[in-house]
Structure 1
């Protein structure tokens, strides 16, 4: 979603909702649509370039000058809630070189209104990042969000950026995804997180990070109470790395709320430590473990962690995790005792009719407050749908249900469709 002139523009992608051929059976109001559901489907991994949520100006041409950033910009700047003018510049795909970064650094030193800077997919490199980091250190710089997605940055550039993190107390969001910073770069950044850094959101997707780098990151989590969102998607974290991160999550100083570990080579081995963290961490609200081979054993461990009253997890994504009906028994038990979980994605697992019947038993429990459930491509049968329909007659919370790509005939879901006339059901949207 992007803001321009006070208006909201939303970018939708088929990566957000995997197939556009889904059928919306029945909205409760005319305002409901497939688009509105797509924007809600936050449990699935977003595209590499997620929609921006910040006010800003896009400069699509390399010849666009950075000089205007040094003064009050006349490009219809946005005003924040306090009435002050905030500027944001999107300079993605602009062929920016070291020369341009020198001008940007100068602008950062003299412009205290610039809040957002997006340099996505420019050949910035380590040398240019050093120049930018010098600008970030200046007391006049009030930049809050910096995107350096796919900018040819390595561990060498992270040294300068780490120095900037230590002296800049304004930066809140940093995106270094798709840069080969590796474990050495993560170690440097982690040192920066320990100091006066107020960073709240850190994105490190596909950065060649392994378990070795997670040790330093876990140490930072123990001493940093500001970081709220951490995205490590596409790194070879593994069970050992997850165990290290979980130790950091258990620390009372850690206030992390969102953790993305999509496609991180995690197996059941690391889930034991993560389950322990869920028992002691009351801050974590969103956990994404998609496309990891945790299996039924890993799910059982996680489900035990969810049962603890300390666990306040609201969103759980376990799509494509090699889960079967066997694991659903433990998950059902967790649904009966956890009143916090609101969204769950089990897409791409072989749940089958037996698994859905077990989950349906959990949905019947009055403690279960689940509102959105994704069961896309789960080998579900008509028999499972009947059990689910029975559960939803007594469940007054579930609003969104996705059963797409399960080869269900219309007759198989007729009982679910009929829930639109049931006063006890809150089901608004059904995909099948």
Structure 2
């Protein structure tokens, strides 16, 4: 007698039941994982879930928590979650105001997330809390972008931060704007720029409204023109720093030997407030530098009350350049 095999219909029913069972098992597993995630977050902080929304902090590559009103204790909970994330690349904590008490949590995040590339910490009132961050930042190999604007960072704190920046091997974009750390901080930043590590990687620096003054501006300009250091800096913002004519002259000297800088903003720096004689002299020096320098593409000198002689000299020098230059007065 011939062996009897199941018909095609029976086999189809068997495969369908197997597929449905497998699908049901996967669905139940997903529900369990989701419910576990919800319980984990809600147990860490009663209000955290409602603030951050449905974000699995242990899985995502980009976390945007800008303006969520996070407190320092909630930052501890977030740091605990992110410490399990092995693929985090971007973290935005701008405008939360968790203060210096939240700095240890941010430091923990930096240490536990070696894949982190972009960190935004602006407007958080960190103050001396940046000192806590410094060591973690110095040893992080993949961090490319660091924004710490408007955090009331003082002179002593920025000195520690600058030392860490000097050791950061891959930092490309640094925003320290709106931290009035003054000339002492400006000199500290200059020393960091003169180091081989930061010089070889940093491409953008924003020091808008940091009150570095003439002393800080001269130190920074000298650091960017120092011999033996191969700089990659392409853009520097020095708006509203009260650098005066002497500061402008220092940047003019720097431009004569610099071959990488493409954008320079010296807007609102009281360059023309000492009279036509001083402004005209430094304007002539800057004009000579512009003819020699062929890398600069944008120069912002707005709100400086420049003398007519200085303006004319700069326009004439710009016209004689082989590379076009956008001059802003």
Establish whether residue 371 from structure 1 lines up as the match of residue 325 from structure 2: yes
Corresponding residue number in structure 2 for 1:283: 232
C-alpha separation between the residues in 2 aligned to 1:196 and 1:267? 31
Aligned position for 2:303:
348
Contact 1:288–1:318 (Cα < 8 Å) also in 2: yes
Aligned pairs (5 A) from 1:73-88: none
Cα deviation code 1:367-417 (max 9, x no counterpart): 5x2432222xxxxxxxxxxxxxxxxxxxxxxxxxxxxxxxxxxxxxxxxxx
Q: Distance in 1 between matches of 2:296 and 2:217?
A: 18
Partner Cα separation in structure 2 for residue 120 and residue 215 of structure 1: 27
- Match runs of 1:7-406 below 5 Å: 97-100=47-50, 107-109=56-58, 111=59, 114-138=60-84, 140-182=85-127, 184-254=128-198, 255-280=201-226, 281-309=230-258, 311-324=259-272, 325-326=279-280, 327-366=282-321, 369-375=323-329
Larger Rg: 2
Measured in 1, the distance between the counterparts of 2:47 and 2:255 equals: 49
Aligned-residue offset at 1:272: 2.0
Q: Answer yes or no: is the 8 Å Cα contact 2:51–2:68 preserved in 1.
A: no
8 Å contact from structure 2 (residues 186, 219) kept in 1: yes
3-state DSSP class of the match of 1:328?
helix
The alignment yields a C-alpha RMSD, in angstroms, of: 2.3
Secondary structure of 1:196's counterpart equals: coil
What TM-score does the superposition give when structure 1 sets the normalisation length? 0.60
Distance 1:154 1:330, change over 3 A: same
Residue 29 of structure 2 aligns with which residue? none
**3-state SS in 2 of match to 1:316:** strand
Q: Unaligned stretches of 5+ in structure 2?
A: 1-33, 38-45, 273-278
Partners of 1:237 and 1:164 in 2: CA distance: 26
Q: Distance in 1 between matches of 2:157 and 2:54?
A: 31
Give how far 1:364 is off.
3.3
Task: Output the CA distance in 2 between the equivalents of 1:193 and 1:272.
Answer: 27
User: CA contact under 8 A between 2:52 and 2:65: conserved in structure 1?
Assistant: no
